[in-house]
Chain A
Amino acid sequence: DIQMTQSPSSLSASLGDRVTITCRASQRITNYLNWYQQKPGKAPKVLIYSASSLQSGVPSRFSGSGSGTDFTLTISSLQAEDFAAYYCQQSYGMPYTFGQGTKLDIK
């Protein structure tokens, strides 16, 4: 299986901050990498697919980059509604695997 490792596991930030979350794959996955946001008590919501494509309806402050094994999710200016957990997921090979998650909370 392809292991996905996110860092950090948790992060405290302030409104307006620029935040970056990293995801590393245990083998090359080209750009078959998706990012999801999950708020407490809610289902995950896709933000970014194929490493850098913004899902329709997702604010442009979210962006993704990377290829191969190393990927990043960046939030350019944190808004109140962005405090949540974030997961990366590879769709390069079966079984699909997720990172362990990054919990973003208010400093």
Chain B
Amino acid sequence: QVQLQQWGAGLLKPSETLSLTCAVYGGSFSGYYWSWIRQPPGKGLEWIGEINHSGSTDYNPPLKSRVTILADTSKNQFSLKLTSVTAADTALYYCAREVVTATGYYYMDVWGKGTTVTVSS
């Protein structure tokens, strides 16, 4: 059974860089897309971006200038970096596996437990 374990710093000051890592256990890294999604306190879900096993990425345009998602296939891990954080980046950050069905439909079927990131001076 595939599990995602995520970790990273939970308290940042404004202008610092958010760094999170997500490890994939019990399943293949290749053949899937790997996403980051965040949820501000009491609010809905926002897709941040994704990477596939070959390193191809897509980012949400409002965040694109500050976001980098990388994959380390040797460790079955992928990571998120978000630079120049502000209080608006305070959120619960999730990593997720995105599956592509045989008929070409995409959805996120396995999620990490989430990491709370707070940005405060």
Contacts and interface: CB of A to CB of B under 8 A. Distances in A.
B107 A34 contact: yes
A27 to B, nearest CB: 17
Interface in B36-71: 44-47, 49, 58-61
B14 interface: no
Contacts of A44: 45, 94, 108, 111
A43 B106 contact: no
B1 to A, nearest CB: 11
A84 B49 CA distance: 25
B106 A100 contact: no
A28 interface: no
B108 A46 contact: yes
A43 B94 contact: yes
Contacts of A87: 44-45
Nearest to B4: A43
Interface residues of A, number: 24
Contact of B114 (A43, A46, A97, A99): A43
Interface of B: 35, 44-47, 49, 58-61, 94, 96, 101, 103, 105-109, 111-114
B106 A98 contact: no
Contacts of A50: 101, 103, 105, 107
Interface in A84-105: 87, 89, 91, 94-101
Interface of A: 1, 31-32, 34, 36, 43-46, 49-50, 53, 55, 87, 89, 91, 94-101
Given A43-B94, A94-B58, A95-B61, A49 B45 contact: no
Given A43-B112, A43-B113, A91 B105 contact: yes
Top-3 shortest CB links A-B: A43-B111, A91-B106, A49-B107
Nearest to A1: B61
Which among A31, A50, A53, A96 has the highest number of chain B CB atoms within 10 Å? A96
